[in-house]
């Protein structure tokens, strides 16, 4: 998939500045990686994201 930050902003309904902060936080916490201008999610990161969203979903119920 190919998105620019403005596309992510439009899709999620949050401002570009917030998209940037979220991406930076996800990179710092190891959920995603950056390779040049691209964002990558490897298998380990995918499982980490999946686990954290499932935990969040369980807490919300």
Specify the pTM. 0.75
pLDDT at residue 1 in the model? 74
CA distance readout (Å), 32 to 2, 21, 26, 56, 59: 15, 13, 6, 18, 23
CA distance readout (Å), 24 to 8, 57, 61: 14, 23, 28
pLDDT at residue 53 in the model? 84
pLDDT at residue 59 in the model? 61
In this prediction, the residues of the chain whose per-residue pLDDT falls under 50 are 61
pLDDT at residue 30 in the model? 94
pLDDT at residue 58 in the model? 62
């Amino acid at each position: 998939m190919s998105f620019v930050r403005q596309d992510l902003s439009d899709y999620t309904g949050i401002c570009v500045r917030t998209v940037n902060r979220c991406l930076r936080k996800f990179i710092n916490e190891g959920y995603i990686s950056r390779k040049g201008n691209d964002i990558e999610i490897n298998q380990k990161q995918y499982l980490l994201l999946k686990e954290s969203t499932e935990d969040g979903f369980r807490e919300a119920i």
